[in-house]
Amino acid sequence: MIWQLDIILLIIVVICALAAISVKDLLSSAILFGAYSFLLCLVWAEMGAVDVAFTEATVGAGISTAFFIGAIYHTSRRTKD
Q: Identify which range of 4-12, 23-31, 34-42, 66-74 contacts other proteins by CB under 8 A.
A: 66-74
For residue 29, the tally of other CB atoms under 10 A from its CB is 18
Residue 26, judged by CB atoms within 10 A of its CB (0-12, 13-18, 19+), counts as: middle
User: Are 45 and 53 a contacting pair, CB within 8 Å?
Assistant: yes
**Contact between 74 and other proteins per CB under 8 A:** yes
What residues numbered 5-24 form the site for other proteins, per CB under 8 A? none
Gap between the Cα atoms of 52 and 27, Å rounded = 26
Q: Identify which range of 4-12, 14-22, 26-34, 62-70 contacts other proteins by CB under 8 A.
A: 62-70
Which positions lie near other proteins, rule CB under 8 A?
50-51, 53-55, 58-59, 62-63, 66-67, 70-71, 73-74
